[in-house]
Chain A
């Protein structure tokens, strides 16, 4: 496995259009170098998942994603036998003259095995990026099971035997902090906290992702979002919402924010009725803050 240099990681991330900061670069770099999973925490919509995607792009490898949810169990993460296909095969072979052993070998072969993300990741032809998304949604039992896989890099399938990893994947684990993760998992990972971006960083992200946007509009959008996040909101909008909004407004060919326009498109950034109402009542004030600052420049 080749380990890219620190500066190379930096430029790779930049090439993929991912605006990062030193702590992100350092974590990604060390994650690759030390072969450790990176545990990324932070509010929704700040680009946690994006880091994994960008890593996969940068390393020119595949991204294998395991989306966690409540009740996710080992079989759904590892492998399942394609039971229906096995049955059909036995049915077809009923008239054949294969011995029992041969039949058994076939139906417990690779083609009847449904690989789920974890098995996929360790049997991949090239070290992939394994994204374990929203681990905090899965149960604690699953977390401990995951620990076992992450430390040994092997999975035992009773009918076949133990499958050892051909390449150790680059692992990215994300969490929204819905539930505290276990100390054991934390200790195995490098910790990275991604917060809402600063105004400068957000502006850079908007400009890189929505290149056709008007400079003044981008500036106003970012200032507005910064102010908006200061308010007491149920669901604080993330970068994803900023980008949606920027794309929407720029494709409507606007070059600056207006009160009416913001009112009409508020649904792009706010996803909660209470938040909408709350924001609408203080919209003039918010816009004033944004405009005043931009006039002063």
Chain B
């Protein structure tokens, strides 16, 4: 077991503090460490508060990191102080403090700090190992969804959104400046000056405007996934602007406006206030028919991609669903159905209303965890 030794030099302390923050996910290289030291060198440090402010101005790079910094700073220096006081710290004693265990939020980070301070990385690794083994068995689907996973999903969506946004049309439009010189237009416009070329015109390919329509099932049977779905919708909507979003259980709800909030929790608040029938029964057929009738003229055209996320358990008439799907398929450019149950080896499309919808789906894929979602989205866009 390593002992934490009191560093007498300031620079050594700063470097170890940076190391500590690095463990917490801060991206800090030698340059940042140098910056921090330089900043301290030029700042007249009179009191501990000034010292903290200096580091706070240099080290965090985003609001989230700033908040983390505020949280970790006292923890680190307190731990260091304690280590200095007793010189030698027993490992067991800290862990057995009664207050530690019930605080789920605090415990892991504190534990990590201590592990790091005492140079005991073994346990952490073991924990990760079991965690990934867990996932390999396929138990961990979206029903156990963490913040980190949300980040992962966001990254995934950013990739998709970029692809969607970067599709170019074959036609051109005139722009103030670009690398493409529009010779024909320039000649024509300058004819009035007797062919003397004064004004120049440029052109650029038009961007293809893919309209995305998200239709999400939030009925009882989708309960395990709906938390993720809402996060998915929210993340997608913040990243990609040409999108329209609906949720349905027994009836259809347009939720684009409710989701337009800066924070996810606010959006969630809005949703719970305005959408009745959350986790209710499922009427996919009539909901989709409602969509075609009320929003089809606006949302469905040859530029639109319809993304339906549902398990396909329909309690209504299969004919209604079939007709609605036929309409959607006819009007939209592509229909994608993501089914969380399709990842299950026992899944059979015929068992549910799915069967009647199948002929009208361009891409049918499973989306029960992040990996399958990545595959499905990669295939679709």
Using CB atoms and an 8 Å cutoff, list the residues of chain A in contact with chain B: 3, 5-6, 22-23, 26-27, 29-30, 33-34, 36, 41, 73, 75-76, 80, 83-84, 87, 91, 177, 183, 186-187, 189-193, 232
DSSP majority for the B interface?
helix
Cross-chain pairs A/B with CB under 8 angstroms, 23 sampled: A23-B56, A23-B57, A26-B43, A26-B56, A27-B57, A30-B39, A30-B43, A30-B57, A33-B38, A34-B35, A34-B39, A36-B35, A41-B63, A83-B200, A84-B199, A87-B197, A91-B196, A183-B61, A187-B27, A189-B61, A190-B57, A192-B57, A232-B266
Counting chain B residues whose Cβ lies within 8 A of the other chain, the interface size class is 20 to 34
Contact B57 A186 (CB under 8 A): no
Q: How many A-B residue pairs have CB under 8 A?
A: 66
Contact B42 A3 (CB under 8 A): yes
Given the interface pairs A26-B57, A73-B177, the reply to whether A183 lies near B63 with Cβ below 8 Å is no
Contact B53 A186 (CB under 8 A): no
Task: Find chain A residues with CB under 8 A from B53 CB.
Answer: 22-23, 26
Contact A26 B63 (CB under 8 A): no
Q: How far is the CA of A87 from the CA of B39 in the complex (A)?
A: 52
Q: How far is the CA of A193 from the CA of B64 in the complex (A)?
A: 10
Contact of A193 among B42, B58, B66 (CB under 8 A): B66
Closest Cβ of chain B to A73, distance in Å, is 7
- Cβ-closest 4 pairs across A and B: A186-B61, A33-B42, A26-B57, A26-B53
Further contacts, 10 of them, CB under 8 A, given A34-B42, A41-B62: A3-B42, A5-B44, A34-B35, A73-B177, A75-B177, A80-B177, A87-B197, A91-B196, A191-B66, A193-B63
Task: Find chain B residues with CB under 8 A from A232 CB.
Answer: 266
Q: How far is the CA of A23 from the CA of B35 in the complex (A)?
A: 17
Closest Cβ of chain B to A44, distance in Å, is 11
Contact A26 B61 (CB under 8 A): no
Task: Find chain B residues with CB under 8 A from A41 CB.
Answer: 62-63
DSSP majority for the A interface?
helix
* CB contact list, B39-86 vs A, under 8 A: 39, 42-44, 49, 53-54, 56-58, 60-63, 65-66
Q: How far is the CA of A105 from the CA of B23 in the complex (A)?
A: 57
